[in-house]
């Protein structure tokens, strides 16, 4: 008789594909503008969302550990559905802000719990070696679904921006049904108190922060990944105003976003080969060039096909996580690796939260090309500082960590 837990595998792949289909993404900025928001308010919304994610990252992770991954996913899908419905009926900045905060809670509950449930399932079945293959296939399917959702969003957006949000809400609602059908593998042990669990987790966070602070190369990588991730997020919310300025039809927005997703997926697939060919220093220079040059070209050349310059950023988007995350893991002790990746993710969101209102203010007060040039200059300064720091890192920090725990 088939183990009921084995059904988690196909259900997980379906859940990953359907639980969030960003149909609204190609036209969401146009929706905000249609409802009276300027670009400063657009960036302020995203800044507060990112801050919410930073604050909720650790508490929601503990919920998944203490109440179970299945429970966390059920809460996540329920809350995300509510957040999107609030968005769909809203028409003011404050309602949209409420929706963003609700969504930040839902996405925080989802983050990591889905992959952890898959790993627990495979471990229970004695198939843990299949994790990378199944997870990779699930994420590849997700990228294709994202691309199709983007195309659909552009088509629906031709008639109604608001309808794209209602359509997006279908995903987490179906995801809720799928999440209810999951079987919890490792039931959380009730013996340890929340206070004891929090104390242990706090100690792990403290020691991991100390390691990042002391290890100059790991600290540099966290900062570099934070800048590249934030740069991509700055530009993301200018895609639609730029395409509108370029006289690209709304249906073309969906096609452009689909191209971005598929291209980033392809870049991620060849990331290892690029690193092998260029080496660490070559990859760093490539990323810097691909982050800065598209901004300048987009400001200088404005045509319906100028959105293709954004593929430079999409290259970095696709390659940065596989390459830089691997660097971080390579130079980090095994018992701290997951936590340091979480710190890196939180740092990227916090940097975006702190800087994006400035980008939004400039976008609201000046022209789009001026905003792009400002981003380029800002990045040149940041990367200049980072390259200077990189060149001064002592050789001893480039030794790979092959032990589990740090020696005290």
Place 132 in a pLDDT band, splitting at 50, 70 and 90. Answer: low
CATH number at residue 240: 1.20.1250.20
Once rounded to an integer, what is the mean pLDDT over residues 253-272?
87
Instruction: Looking at the structure, tell me whether residues 163 and 209 fall in a common domain.
Output: no
Asked if residue 404 is part of any domain, the answer here is no
Residue with tokens 């801050």: 51
| Domain contains 402 | no
148 and 235 belong to one structural domain: no
Confidence of residue 193 (pLDDT cuts 50, 70, 90): low
What is the C-alpha separation between 16 and 11, in angstroms, rounded?
9
Residue of 279, 284, 240 whose CA lies nearest to 260: 240
Q: Are residues 25 and 139 in the same domain?
A: yes
Q: How far is CA 239 from each of CA 234, 236, 356, 370, rounded to the nearest angstrom?
A: 10, 5, 15, 15
Query: What's the whole-number mean pLDDT along residues 175-182?
Result: 91
The contacts of residue 36 (CB under 8 Å, 6+ apart) are 91, 92, 93
> Percent of the chain beyond pLDDT 90?
49
Q: Do residues 368 and 242 lie in contact, with contact meaning Cβ atoms separated by under 8 Å?
A: yes
3-state secondary structure of 42: helix
Backbone angles phi, psi at 118, to 5 degrees: -60, -45
- Looking at every residue in the chain, the average pLDDT score rounds to 85
Residue 396: both structure tokens together:
């001893």
Q: How many CB atoms lie under 10 A from the CB of residue 78?
A: 17
Report how far residue 45's alpha carbon sits from residue 229's, in angstroms, rounded to the nearest whole number: 18
> Same structural domain for residues 234 and 356?
yes
Top pLDDT among 406 and 194 is at 194
Most confident segment among 14-23, 343-352, 395-404: 14-23
Average pLDDT over residues 309-323: 87
Confidence class for position 363, pLDDT limits 50, 70, 90: very high
Q: Do 106 and 222 belong together in one domain?
A: no
Q: Residue 325 pLDDT more than 80?
A: no
Of 164-178, 277-291, 335-349, 385-399, the one with minimum mean pLDDT is 335-349
Domain co-membership, 177 together with 202: no
Residue span of the structural domain in which 128 resides:
1-185
- pLDDT per residue over 46-78, tens digit each? 999 999 988 887 677 667 667 778 888 999 999
**Count of CB atoms situated within 10 Å of the CB of 186:** 14
**Rounded Cα gap, residues 77 and 174, in angstroms:** 8
Among candidate residues 185, 210, 228, the one where a domain is terminated: 185
Contact 24, 167 (CB under 8 A): yes
Helices (H), 125-249: 131-157, 161-180, 194-214, 216-236, 239-245
Inform me whether the pLDDT recorded for 350 exceeds 80. yes
Q: Domain boundary residue among 139, 162, 185? A: 185
What is the C-alpha separation between 39 and 27, in angstroms, rounded? 14
Domain annotation covers residue 405: no
The reply to whether 221 and 364 lie within a common domain is yes
Q: Are residues 157 and 264 in the same domain?
A: no
| CB-count burial class (<10 Å; 0-12, 13-18, 19+) for 133 | exposed
Domain final residue pick, 165, 185, 205: 185
* pLDDT for position 404: 44
**How does 368-390 read in b/e, with b if 16+ C-beta sit within 10 Å?**
bbebbbbbbebbeebbeebbeeb
For residue 406, tell me if it sits in a domain. Answer: no
Q: What is the pLDDT of residues 216-230, one digit of tens each?
A: 787 888 888 889 989
Residue carrying the six token digits 């792009």: 372
Mean pLDDT of 161-181: 94
Place of tokens 């998944």: 64
Q: Which of 99-103, 109-113, 179-183, 376-380 has the lowest mean pLDDT?
A: 109-113
> Are residues 246 and 168 part of one domain?
no
Q: Do 107 and 253 share a structural domain?
A: no
pLDDT for the residue numbered 403: 47
Helix axes 216-236, 271-300, angle to 10 degrees: 40
Asked if residue 159 is part of any domain, the answer here is yes
Residues 353 and 373 in one domain: yes
Enter the pTM of the model.
Answer: 0.84
Quote the pLDDT of residue 218. 79
In a domain, 328, yes or no: yes
Whole-angstrom CA distances from 14 to 18, 109, 116, 182, 374 are 6, 18, 16, 12, 42
Taking only the tens place, the pLDDT of each residue in 371-408 is 999 999 999 999 999 999 888 887 776 765 544 455 54
> Is residue 267 in some structural domain?
yes
Tell me, what's the pLDDT at 89? 95
81 within domain boundaries: yes
**Based on the domain organization, do 276 and 228 belong to the same domain?**
yes
Total length of the chain: 408
Number of domains the chain is built from: 2
């Amino acid at each position: 008789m088939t183990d009921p837990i084995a059904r988690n595998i196909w259900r997980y792949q379906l859940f990953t594909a359907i639980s969030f289909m960003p149909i609204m993404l190609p036209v969401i900025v146009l929706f905000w503008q249609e409802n009276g928001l300027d670009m400063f308010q657009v960036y302020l919304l995203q800044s507060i969302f990112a801050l919410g994610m930073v604050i909720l990252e650790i508490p929601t992770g503990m919920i998944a550990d203490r109440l179970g991954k299945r429970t966390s996913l059920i809460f996540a899908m329920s809350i995300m559905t509510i957040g999107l419905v609030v968005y769909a009926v809203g028409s003011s900045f404050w309602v949209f802000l409420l929706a963003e905060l609700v969504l930040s809670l839902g996405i925080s509950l989802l983050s990591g719990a889905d992959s952890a449930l898959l790993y627990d399932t495979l471990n229970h079945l004695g198939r843990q070696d299949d994790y990378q293959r199944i997870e990779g296939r699930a994420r590849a399917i997700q990228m294709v679904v994202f691309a199709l959702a983007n195309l659909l969003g552009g088509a629906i957006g031709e008639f109604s921006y608001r309808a794209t949000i209602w359509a997006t809400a279908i995903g987490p609602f179906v995801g809720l049904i799928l999440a209810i059908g999951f079987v919890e593998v490792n039931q959380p042990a009730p013996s340890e108190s929340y206070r004891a669990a929090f104390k242990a987790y706090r100690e792990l966070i403290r020691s991991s922060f100390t390691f990042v602070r002391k290890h100059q190369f790991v600290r540099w990588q966290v900062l570099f990944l934070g800048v590249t991730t934030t740069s991509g997020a700055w530009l993301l919310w200018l895609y639609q105003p730029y395409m509108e300025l370029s006289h690209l039809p709304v249906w073309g927005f969906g096609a452009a976003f689909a191209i971005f997703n598929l291209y980033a997926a392809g870049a991620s697939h060849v990331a290892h080969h690029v690193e092998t060919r260029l080496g660490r220093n070559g990859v760093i220079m490539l990323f810097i060039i691909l982050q800065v040059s598209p901004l300048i070209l987009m400001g200088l050349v404005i045509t319906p096909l100028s959105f293709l310059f954004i593929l430079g950023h999409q290259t970095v988007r696709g390659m940065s996580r596989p390459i830089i995350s691997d660097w971080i893991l390579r130079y980090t002790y095994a018992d701290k690796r997951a936590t340091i990746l979480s710190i890196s993710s939180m740092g990227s969101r916090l940097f975006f939260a702190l800087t994006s209102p400035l980008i939004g203010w400039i976008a609201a007060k000046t022209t789009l090309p001026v905003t792009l040039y400002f981003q380029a200059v800002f990045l040149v300064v940041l990367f200049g500082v980072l390259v200077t720091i990189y060149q001064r890192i002592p050789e001893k920090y480039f030794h790979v960590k092959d032990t589990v725990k740090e020696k005290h």
